[in-house]
């Protein structure tokens, strides 16, 4: 029986996907569970598994094309199985957006009459399948470093090459001297004018999702903003003391911010809430979205049940989530369903900013850098380490007084940080 390969909805906000590459070609034998394609969603690059076995008889969408969720992109069937009606039905129902984007090479038309003969595999001694099975992260690292994946032995399931295999080979000492290279040409003198070009680039699936989500926020959601300044002296001293006692797993400033946020939300459940039509949902768990900047956009992995976790557990879990977010290795359950968010731009030397709420959450904290500045304490001017924080509030859920109470508790936690760990 023919098996459809469709553009599946691989995240809750995904409306369309971009086909990055086919892992098999027309005529190749495919077993159920084999990886047949790689897709760019709005959150991550994900692999598509064959739901049935047979031969990849037809590729309907070429690499580089962006198509809506549910679009038929390929057909797996037996060689003697008729698939003409299946292909014709897909062509009739395909929307215009199923065509490849302008930077993709369109597929040449193929007559649907004759079945495709599978190519005979050329197998090395002792091998039965010459197709390399490579994770998207491993493939990207190999491409960036100019590594021939044919020289890598996969340690993943079924001999799949994973990130650790590529990194191990890169870390191994070279066994042969590098080839002689011709002397490099003298660099051209720097131009006094920036090399600017007028161009239009297709937005990534992540950037498109961000655009859709934020249009739902800044217009319909009635924002208001609360800003306070926090003395970070004691918090930084505590961090230094804890890290001096630990052999690994250092506590970061962001970990302190997450812990303080979790404690404040637990004490002010009105800020850990969402607007739902004519009702307010108060969440029974504090699930904090951590804003992580990627080259192509922004993703918010979620630290689950943060109010019931200690500082070191928060640090460990947040470090893992952030690292896998940057490698685009998160699964949908790890980046959806936050009840509140934290965005920290302090590492970029930003003093203060306002963040846009990510619906259906009712609040987000925007954190600036910690700087030394003169302040008046007890009638005297002293130098202290200060940090400015702005809370964006959904006024349908959070009023000015309740938002200020939450922010006051958050500030008190950081200025008296022993409360967070005792």
Among all residues, which ones are annotated catalytic? 395
Q: Which residues lie below 8 Å from residue 156, measured CB to CB, with a gap of 6+?
A: 133, 135, 162, 165
Measured distance CA(95)–CA(347) in Å, rounded: 44
Distance CA 366, CA 390 (A): 5
Other residues' Cβ atoms within 10 Å of the Cβ of residue 116: 17
Q: Per-residue DSSP letters for 311-339? A: HHHHHHHHHHHHHHHHTT---GGGTS--S
Q: How far apart are CA 391 and CA 360, in angstroms?
A: 16
Residues 380 and 234: their CA atoms lie apart, in Å, by 19
Closest CA to 415 of 267, 292, 257, 288: 257
Distance CA 74, CA 27 (A): 12
């Amino acid at each position: 029986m023919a098996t459809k390969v469709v553009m599946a909805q691989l995240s809750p906000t995904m409306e369309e996907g971009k086909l990055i590459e086919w892992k098999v070609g027309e005529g190749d034998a495919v077993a159920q569970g084999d990886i047949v394609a790689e897709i760019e969603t709005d959150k991550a690059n994900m692999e598509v598994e064959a739901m049935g076995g047979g031969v990849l008889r037809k590729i309907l969408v070429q690499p580089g094309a962006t198509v809506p969720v549910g679009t038929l992109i390929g057909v797996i069937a037996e060689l003697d199985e008729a698939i003409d009606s299946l292909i014709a039905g897909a062509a009739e129902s395909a929307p215009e957006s199923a065509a490849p984007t302008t930077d993709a090479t369109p597929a040449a038309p193929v007559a649907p009459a004759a079945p495709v003969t599978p190519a005979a595999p050329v197998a090395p001694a002792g091998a039965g399948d010459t197709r390399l099975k490579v994770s998207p992260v491993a493939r990207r690292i190999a491409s960036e470093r100019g590594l021939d994946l044919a020289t890598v032995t996969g340690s993943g399931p079924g001999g799949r090459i994973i990130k650790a295999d590529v990194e191990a080979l890169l870390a191994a000492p070279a066994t042969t001297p590098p080839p002689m290279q011709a002397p490099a040409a003298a660099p051209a003198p720097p131009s006094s004018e920036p090399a600017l070009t007028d161009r239009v680039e297709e937005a990534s699936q992540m950037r498109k999702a961000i655009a859709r989500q934020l249009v739902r926020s800044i217009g319909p959601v009635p924002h208001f903003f609360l800003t306070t300044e926090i003395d970070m002296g004691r918090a930084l001293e505590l961090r230094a003391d804890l890290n001096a006692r630990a052999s690994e797993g250092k506590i970061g400033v962001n970990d302190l911010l997450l812990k303080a946020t979790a404690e404040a939300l637990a004490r002010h459940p009105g800020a850990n809430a969402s607007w739902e039509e004519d009702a307010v949902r108060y969440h029974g768990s504090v699930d904090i979205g951590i804003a992580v900047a990627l080259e192509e956009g922004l993703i918010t992995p979620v630290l689950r049940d943060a109010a019931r976790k200690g500082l070191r557990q928060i640090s460990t879990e947040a470090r893992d989530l952030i690292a896998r977010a940057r490698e685009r290795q998160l699964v949908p359950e790890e980046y959806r369903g936050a009840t509140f968010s934290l965005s920290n731009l302090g590492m970029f030397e930003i003093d203060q900013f306002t963040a846009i709420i990510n619906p259906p959450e009712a609040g987000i904290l925007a954190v600036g850098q910690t700087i030394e500045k003169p302040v008046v304490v007890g009638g005297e001017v002293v130098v202290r380490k200060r940090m400015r924080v702005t809370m964006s509030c959904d006024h349908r859920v959070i009023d000015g007084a309740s938002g200020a109470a939450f922010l006051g508790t958050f500030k008190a936690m950081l200025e008296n940080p022993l409360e967070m760990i005792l």
